[in-house]
Chains A and B, each alone.
Chain A
Amino acid sequence: MTYGIIRKDFVIPANDFTIAGEASSCVKKMLIQLGVDPQKVKKTAISMYEAEINAVIHANGGIAEVEIDRNKILIRIKDDGPGIPDLELAMQEGYTTAPDSIREMGFGAGMGLPNMRRYADKLEIRTEVGKGTIVEITVFLTDN
């Protein structure tokens, strides 16, 4: 791939579950077009999608900032939601505060953050109660 750096921002609308995932879908298409390895595309798409869904169901939406250069894909999902009081607990498989109404729509199994950790090469989360959450997902494109 011969390009410098690609930057793209997306708005993640609040409370619209039907269109949640639109940003991740766009990014996936972008990565395919850039010729990124399919396994890396999949890792990125799944992690970003989980983070996007979280912003919708837990934090009234937010924004996604995407940066791609020759070494890595960086996805930053930011929200002004309630924050996560105990991040270590939230990272555990099965831990969820989502109501049944969310589970009826197929989410809220408490597997979102664990999935991000499973698929991202690097996962950084900064969160403050009452302020919001920033989830940063990195997938490396080169081996070094």
Chain B
Amino acid sequence: MKARDILSVLDAEILTGDENLDMEFYAACGSDLMSDVMAYVKENVVLLTGLVNPQVIRTAEMMDIKLIVFIRGKRPEEKIVEMAREKGIAVMTTNHPMFIACGKLYSAGITERGVWD
């Protein structure tokens, strides 16, 4: 699924990273704990989180995650958006809560699962 489809499925707003809109995503990880995200082994992952701080962007950077969706209407401050922009990471915000956002993406076809060993 392309980032632009994720944007519409989640009724989201994009805050940075228009250039990533045509990237494909096959798996999603929803978590507020960054070490759990880093235990998730998969490529082309979209990260959904209710946590808003610079470490979310850092975690995405280390994991090569190119799209972060902040849920429940969370909106990172400009400094954090800027940090994502520098690292080539797209940022969206949706009003949906975590469960609904994940459910919508799953129904729309993001069904691949990550690997934990």
Stretch of B11-19, B49-57, B96-104, B105-113 lying at the A interface: B49-57
A24 to B8, CA, bound (A): 34
Q: What bracket does the count of chain A residues touching chain B fall in?
A: 20 to 34
Residues of A within 8 A of B5 (CB): none
In chain A, residues 28-80, which have Cβ atoms closer than 8 Å to a Cβ of chain B?
Answer: 28, 38, 42, 45-46, 49-50, 53
A-B contact count (CB 8 A): 68
**Is the CB–CB distance between A42 and B55 below 8 Å?**
no
Residues of B within 8 A of A20 (CB): 55, 58
Closest B residue, CB atoms, query A38: B64
Most chain A CB within 10 A, of B35, B53, B58, is at B35
Our pick among B33, B53, B62 for the contact of A42 (Cβ within 8 Å) is: B62
Residues of A within 8 A of B51 (CB): 105-106
Most chain B CB within 10 A, of A38, A105, A114, is at A105
A112 to B59, CA, bound (A): 12
**Is the CB–CB distance between B63 and A21 below 8 Å?**
no
**Is the CB–CB distance between A118 and B62 below 8 Å?**
no
**Is the CB–CB distance between B53 and A109 below 8 Å?**
no
Question: Is A92 an interface residue, CB under 8 A from the partner?
Answer: no
Question: Is A140 an interface residue, CB under 8 A from the partner?
Answer: no
Question: Is B38 an interface residue, CB under 8 A from the partner?
Answer: yes
A115 to B38, CA, bound (A): 7
In chain B, residues 65-108, which have Cβ atoms closer than 8 Å to a Cβ of chain A?
Answer: none
Residues of A within 8 A of B54 (CB): 18-19, 21
How near does chain A come to B60, taking the closest CB pair, in angstroms?
Answer: 11
Question: Is B34 an interface residue, CB under 8 A from the partner?
Answer: yes
A interface list, Cβ under 8 A from B? 17-21, 24-25, 28, 38, 42, 45-46, 49-50, 53, 103, 105-107, 109-112, 114-115, 118
What are 21 inter-chain pairs, A to B, with CB distance below 8 A?
A: A18-B53, A20-B55, A20-B58, A21-B54, A24-B62, A28-B62, A42-B62, A45-B61, A46-B38, A46-B62, A49-B38, A103-B33, A106-B51, A106-B55, A106-B56, A106-B59, A107-B34, A107-B35, A109-B36, A115-B35, A118-B117
